[in-house]
Amino acid sequence: MSTQQKRRPRVEATSINELLTKPFLNEAEVALITGRALATLRNDRFLRRGIPYLKISGRSIRYRTPDVMNFMEARPITFEVSE
């Protein structure tokens, strides 16, 4: 593999509801659920911020599904209604 080619994690064609039943998600699945780019997830890990994750082996990263949902629910966008 050349230095310009990067391995891209694959996500099987499944619905988000099916993904949410899994206890652990890979970075591609988290990107699909959250709408964040893979590069953003990787950068967040490098900067030690964002969604908590587990490093299983040298390159294997997993996110706990509840951690992903808590991360998303902690950032609601609300609008004030003025009359």
How confident is the model over 47-63, as a mean pLDDT? 92
pTM for this structure? Answer: 0.74
Are 22 and 1 in contact, with CB atoms under 8 Å apart?
Answer: no
Structure tokens given for 80: 């004030």
Give me the residue spans of the domains in the chain. Answer: 16-67
Q: Is the pLDDT of residue 42 over 90?
A: yes
Residue 29 burial (CB < 10 Å; 0-12/13-18/19+)? buried
* Per-residue model confidence (pLDDT) at position 13: 58
